[in-house]
Amino acid sequence: MKKKLGMLLAVLLTFCMTVGVFADAGKTQQVDYKTDYYMIVESPDGGVDMYSEADASSPKLNDELIPNGTAIHVEGETTDEAGKVWVYAQLHGMFGFLEENYLKPATLAEAVASELALYGSKDANYSITVNAKDRRFRLPV
């Protein structure tokens, strides 16, 4: 019995002491402040690139330009040494930095409509959380 209890305790301590590691989280993926809003890509080049760091010389995370009309979920902002604002964003499960000057602000409804128009309902992945009478409901969009 003591052996089983010792094993259980060892397993629990192992889980408690485990440190989560994110593959795309670099040392400089820090933001000046956290945010939560949406923007839509609007670039004269037809799209933008997503970078691993807030620097255009850092590795690109996308193979092709992220096309105009793509909705971006912004989770943080940072300003580089040159004064350029970068947004830390989630795009279809990938996290990285985009230059803010090629994005325009959007409401959630505008972001969903833009994604539906660009990718169709099959590939759009958005949901809305509604709080009502102390209960949370997730409604698919």
Say which DSSP state 32 is in: S
**What is the structure's pLDDT at 30?**
73
**What is the structure's pLDDT at 84?**
92
3-state secondary structure string, 34-102? EEEEEEEECCCCCEECCECCCCCCCCECCCCCEECCCEEEEEEEEECCCCCEEEEEEECCEEEEEEHHH
Say which DSSP state 15 is in: H
For 88, list phi and psi in degrees, rounded to 5: -95, 120
Residue ranges in the chain whose pLDDT is less than 70:
1-29, 121-141
Amino acid in position 114: S
**What is the structure's pLDDT at 25?**
45
Taking only the tens place, the pLDDT of each residue in 103-130 is 999 988 888 888 788 777 655 555 555 5
